[in-house]
Amino acid sequence: MATLNLHHLRLFRAVAREGTLTAAARALNISQSAVSTQIKALETDLGHDLFERRGRNLVLTEAGRIALDYAEQIFRASEQLTATFRAVGGQRKVLRIGALATLSRNFQMGFLAPLLGRDDVEVVLRSGTQAALLRALEALRIDVLLTNQVPARDAASPYLVRRLAEQPVSLVGSRTRLALAAQGLPMLLSRAPLILPTPETALRAGFDALVESLGIVPRIAAEADDMAMLRLLARSDAGVAVIPPIVVRDELANGTLYELAQLPGLTEEFHAVTTPRTFPNPLLRDVLGTTGETSGGPAPAP
């Protein structure tokens, strides 16, 4: 077999992503005939058809799917090689951080504190879903993922997970809720309108187990999957929020909101997720320090 041509692989990946020769040629700014010729050359080199035509679209064959998996690995390695040697002769000055879109902004600011104000460092922050950010982590587009969800780990995704902090979870509300809170936690849980995380969150699962153990049917005023929205709903006095106090730190400090009661046994964990790299970004040491690291679950909090 001829030596593998990375240019052919790049064109092949474009066709696999776009679904047609025309779209791939447009994306690459070359002629359709050039794309077709190069794909045929790659198929000849590999000895297998990589696409089959279905209507106007090209669909990967089984051999094509295998080839695409290898191509993605090759290009990830290429990106890591490029990033590594761009950093030769000095430390990397950019740290790319992905954060779950629903994660506490106050926690994120605390994580960034060692880097803020440094003239030699640029911080790039991206937010999104857990799945999208894990893909970005594997593709080397971010250096670390901040999340409150421990990702599943398998042989193809050997994530390194550090537990950065564990925060208590409390009932937080306005001054008007203080009198009810003085009557005790069961009364507060049963009488106050509650602002809760959505049912798919780990925090909500823990809360539901708590009220069930107390024999309480809560009055739900609102649900949200975003900590910032929980904070805003609590500030508007829509009810009493189930929330880690760190999320409303400023409101607690200035008296806009009050920590009415701490919920026993409920905590929220914050994690930093990385992947094993031969040349990790040295700036990670400044934000992670010697925090415990595990392959499949949280380590002791610092």
DSSP 277-291: -SS--TTHHHHHTT-
| For range 264-289, the mean pLDDT | 88
Among residues 215, 211, 213, 175, the alpha carbon closest in space to that of 194 is found at 211
Q: Are residues 99 and 49 in the same domain?
A: no
Q: Are residues 278 and 142 in the same domain?
A: yes
Residue 299 lies in a domain: no
Residue 11, domain extent: 6-86
Residue 220 lies in a domain: yes
Q: Are residues 108 and 150 in the same domain?
A: yes
Q: Are residues 143 and 284 in the same domain?
A: yes
Task: Among 86, 114, 146, identify where a domain stops.
Answer: 86
Are the C-beta atoms of residues 173 and 260 closer than 8 Å to each other?
yes
| For range 245-265, the mean pLDDT | 94
Q: Are residues 241 and 181 in the same domain?
A: yes
Q: Are residues 102 and 171 in the same domain?
A: no
Residue 298 lies in a domain: no
Domain count within the chain: 3
pLDDT of residue 85: 63
pLDDT of residue 79: 77
Question: Which amino acid type is present at position 181?
Answer: A
Residue 300 lies in a domain: no
What is the per-residue pLDDT across 3-34, written as a single tens digit (0 to 9) for each?
Answer: 677 888 889 999 998 999 999 899 888 999 99
pLDDT of residue 184: 94
Q: Are residues 197 and 264 in the same domain?
A: yes
| For range 234-247, the mean pLDDT | 94
| For range 48-56, the mean pLDDT | 91
Q: What is the pTM assigned to this prediction?
A: 0.60
Residue 102's CATH number: 3.40.190.10
pLDDT of residue 155: 64
- The pair of three-digit structure tokens given for residue 92, joined into one six-digit string: 């990397």
Residue 181 lies in a domain: yes
